[in-house]
Amino acid sequence: MSRQTFGERVRYVRELRGMTQQQLADLAGCGQGQINAIESRKSIQSKYARDIALALNVNLDWLLNGNGAMEVGEQGTITKVADFDAYSQKEVVPIRHYNPQHRNKLMLEKTTLEVLGVNPQDARLGVIVGDSMSPIINDNSEIAFDVSKTQIKNGKIYALLANDVLYCAYLQSKPTPQGEQVRLFYANAGLYPDETMSSEQFFATYKILGHVFWWSSTQSW
């Protein structure tokens, strides 16, 4: 498959990730028709480019222009604290674990946080349990989330805590005659059907830790 244009690269990575156009649209906060238009017209840009890059977990410059490495990890944007010396010439900040008892940290370039609109003090690290968000976020993948963004914005991915276990889900808030309802839906929809419950039931079951703005790509044996 040709990868000469933005639209062609979007299609290439979407198929590589095993995603449908609708799944990508849900992740990027746009309509399936917009994803189809981007791919079929071989678009060179889109106002959704940044959200699509985040959804596909690829570098924005590569997606738009074909420059640099495709995968975020190949650019070295995220690195373990143990590799800090290699980043001593860059302005980086530590992302600490959401649980103070864990000492795990990542180093993230400050410019990346600025582009995403994340205050370094509000960024947290966590490790996902379960495959409900596969193939986007696999079991045992690391995520980074913004604890200042806990208000539900429809179609965004959130880090959720239930019974001391960290999960991820898309959230949607829906007003109904019976009151506010919250819908949870997952990338692995074949095994994890949508859940809809009252706002009261949702917040009695889950704690929203924050909006997920980064995740690693791992695959368990």
**Ranges for all domains in the chain classified under CATH 1.10.260.40:** 6-65
Task: Quote the pLDDT of residue 1.
Answer: 55
Q: Which two tokens stand for residue 98?
A: 């959401």
Please state, in angstroms and rounded to a whole number, the distance separating the CA atoms of residues 33 and 37: 6
Q: Which fold has domain 92-215?
A: Umud Fragment, subunit A (2.10.109)
Residue 214 pLDDT > 50: yes
Cβ pair 144, 106 in contact under 8 A: yes
For residue range 43-53, list pLDDT tens digits in order: 556 778 878 88
For residue range 11-41, list pLDDT tens digits in order: 998 888 788 898 888 878 888 899 998 888 7
Residue with tokens 């917009």: 34
Q: Find the mean pLDDT for residues 110-134.
A: 89
Average pLDDT over all residues of the chain: 82
- E strands, the chain, are 78-80, 92-97, 105-109, 123-127, 142-146, 156-162, 165-176, 179-185, 195-198, 207-215
**Ranges for all domains in the chain classified under CATH 2.10.109.10:** 92-215
> Sheet containing 207-215: which strands, arranged edge to edge?
78-80, 105-109, 92-97, 123-127, 142-146, 207-215, 156-162, 165-176, 179-185, 195-198
Task: Quote the pLDDT of residue 162.
Answer: 93
Task: Quote the pLDDT of residue 83.
Answer: 42
Confidence band for 125, pLDDT divided at 50, 70 and 90: very high
At the top level of CATH, which class does the domain 6-65 belong to?
Answer: mainly alpha
